[in-house]
Amino acid sequence: MIPGLGDTTLWRTSSYIDGEWVAGESTYAVVDPASGQPLAQVARAGARETLQAVAAASRAFGTWRETTAAERAAVIRRWGELMLAHRDDLARIMTAEQGKPFAEAQGEVGYAASFLTWFAEEARRAYGDIIPAPKQGARIVVTKEPVGVVGAITPWNFPLAMVTRKAGPALAAGCTMVLKPSEETPLSALALAVLAKQAGVPPGVFNVVSGDAPAIGDTMMASKAIRKISFTGSTRVGKLLMRAAADSVKKVSLELGGNAPFIVFDDADLDAAVTGAMASKFRNTGQTCVCVNRFFVQSSVHDAFVEKLVQAVRGLKVANGMEPGATQGPLINRAALRKVEAHVADACEKGGTVLCGGRPHALGGTFYEPTVIVGAHGGMALAHEETFGPVAAVFRFDTEEEVIQAANDTDYGLSAYFYARDIGRVWRVGQALESGMVGINEGIVSTEVAPFGGVKESGLGREGSKYGLDEYFEVKYMMMGGL
Ligand code: ADP
């Protein structure tokens, strides 16, 4: 248990299957990344628990799909309201297991709840179609049907929002779900299950199993009952799942890695660009899939932008996320720290200059100093791999053609950002960027009302918005003849 938790019933360490808390045969430690100390021993689920959860979800599907959209909406909306009513407790649990500053965690609770509210509303608007028939005495009716049991696999960087972004539309569509949260942040997902139960989500409709990731994943992929996999995480694991989905031809939605460019043109409002840059780059200590990985700044404004950026970065406060005023928490684990260190060392060896930061933070553990590096170029590892840490690497460019080519020179295409005022340039660049999402004079693109997702190796499908609901439907067409 963590200090300050108001509603201690939110603290759960068992799997949640068929509306029951199921202790496993063994447990594993969930660690506070700020201290490196264990927070809780959580049931280690594997194939057996996953099969139980899939069986429960299959049984529940038969009745959940028959409920009216209004009935599902009422339950899902109540779930979102309960999240907001427990905002601080959920945020406390999240900061403890994930490390993000408490204020950011509170923000994530609101963002996560917004997916439940939005999809509760959308559940009632899943309209079908009537198509003029090609012959007399016939009608063509198109309906949308829930795909079935959904297997959801989520990452540690948004322990609540990545869950509700899948569970909201899935349950709204009439699907049931087996969720495997990241083994590093299961406590938030289990707290969410407590609230699901309170909200009236029936047993088996939402199940949570955490533990042995490959065993749970393999069991999900082998299951014929699971008709869809929705995954958010690394491109490496996404490719594994996509291959495995072929055997039973499951639908797949994949939200994978990114390598976001952030372009500052010479007509940009530099102060606005710095504000957007800070929000996009340093949120969650640089550990979001839409975080900027490469800053491209036009030569004539390069030095002015960099000076303002460094000043803003120096204003960040690195601390335990529960400390008042903290803006940068720890990295999630040692492997994350090693990757950031390797990218910075590689950049320095290849001619980059560190203007601030560039080292592990004096707090030790996995804390790292917010860093700005100039003189970045395409030969550096950070140009091609997602750093996933608080490192702003700045590339200099001269022409629009050159920067579009460089920005698109990546296997990824999740989000891109640029700052410019010229209307012709805004349209040209917005259309030329190979990216599922583009922030134009905006550093944050995530919202429940818009389609989130990537192109190229950043993924398949969209989450949030009306497009996100369609991912959980099959389209059925009925030709009625003999009328
Ligand atoms: P990250 O590098 O962000 O941790 P991962 O892709 O490793 O990204 O993790 C995202 C999610 O995928 C987590 O829930 C993790 O447990 C899960 N995962 C990792 N390996 C597998 C696997 N072989 N099968 C299924 N899920 C997996």
Strand bridging mode 20-22 / 15-17: antiparallel
Ordered structural domains, the chain, with CATH: 8-256+458-477 (3.40.605.10), 260-440 (3.40.309.10)
The stretch 437-457 carries a mean pLDDT of 98
Which residue minimizes the CA distance to atom 7 of ligand 1? 234
What letter represents residue 365's amino acid?
A: G
Residue by residue, DSSP assigns 369-385 as --EEEES--TTSGGGTS
* pLDDT at residue 1 in the model: 84
| pLDDT the model gives residue 185 | 98
The closest alpha carbon to 208, from 228, 192, 227, belongs to 192
Expressed in angstroms, the distance from the first to the final Cα of the chain is 66
Kindly report the protein residue whose alpha carbon is nearest to atom 3 of ligand 1: 233
Give the number of the atom of ligand 1 that is nearest the alpha carbon of residue 180.
14
Choose the residue to mutate in 28, 30, 153 for probing ligand 1, maximizing ligand atoms within 8 Å of C-beta. Answer: 153
CA torsion sign, 95 to 99 to 103 to 104?
A: negative
Ligand 1 pocket (Cβ < 6 Å) reads 153-155, 180, 182-183, 213-214, 217, 233-234, 237, 240
d(CA 42, CA 210): 8
Would you call 57 exposed, middle or buried from its count of C-beta atoms within 10 A (0-12, 13-18, 19+)? buried
**Ligand 1 mutation pick, 42, 160, 182, max ligand atoms within 8 A of CB:** 182
Backbone dihedral angles phi then psi of residue 139, each to the nearest 5 degrees:
-135, 145
Rg (CA), the chain: 23
Phi-psi region of 269 (alpha: psi -120 to 50; beta: other; left: phi over 0): beta
Q: Parallel, antiparallel, or unpaired: how do β-strands 260-264 and 292-298 relate? A: parallel
Q: How far is CA 329 from CA 119, 241, 321, 375, in A?
A: 31, 31, 5, 27
Name which of 98, 245, 230, 247 is nearest 169 in CA terms.
230
Q: Quote the ligand 1 centre to 257 CA distance (angstroms).
A: 12
pLDDT in tens, 322-360: 999 999 999 999 999 999 999 999 999 999 999 999 999
The two structure tokens encoding residue 56: 């429960």
Q: Which atom from ligand 1 is nearest to the alpha carbon of 155?
A: 10
pLDDT tens column, 402-427: 999 999 999 999 999 999 999 999 99
pLDDT (tens digit, 9 = 90+) per residue, 54-86?
A: 999 999 999 999 999 999 999 999 999 999 999
How much is the pLDDT for 478?
Answer: 98
Q: With the CA atoms of 454, 128, 166 and 193 taken in that order, what torsion angle do they form, in degrees rounded to the nearest 10? A: 170
pLDDT at 24 over 90: no
Give the mean pLDDT of the chain: 98
Residue 138: per-residue pLDDT = 97
Say how many Å lie between the CA of residue 44 and the centre of ligand 1: 15
The secondary structure of 175-236 as a DSSP string is -EEEEE--TTSHHHHHHHHHHHHHHTPPTTTEEE--B-HHHHHHHHHH-SSEEEEEEES-HH
Measured distance CA(169)–CA(304) in Å, rounded:
45
Best mutation site among 185, 237, 287 for ligand 1, i.e. most ligand atoms within 8 A of its Cβ? 237
Q: Which atom number of ligand 1 is nearest to the Cα of residue 332?
A: 4
Q: How far is CA 11 from CA 40, 45, 267, 416, in A?
A: 9, 17, 51, 38
Helix (H) or strand (E) holding 318: none
Q: Is 41 helix (H, G, I), strand (E, B) or coil?
A: strand
Task: Report angle CA 59, 63, 65 to the nearest 5 degrees.
Answer: 105
Question: Cα–Cα distances in Å, from 273 out to 268, 281, 325, 354, 412?
Answer: 7, 12, 23, 21, 23
Task: Give the pLDDT score at 283.
Answer: 97
pTM: 0.98
Nearest to 232 by CA among 356, 115, 91: 115
Cα separation, 117 vs 23, in Å, equals 31
- The closest alpha carbon to 103, from 305, 332, 327, 306, belongs to 327
CA of 238 to the centre of ligand 1 (A): 8
Q: Are 34 and 219 in contact (CB under 8 A)?
A: no
Active site (catalytic) residues: 255
Q: Which amino acid is residue 445, in one-letter code?
A: V
Model ipTM over 0.90: yes
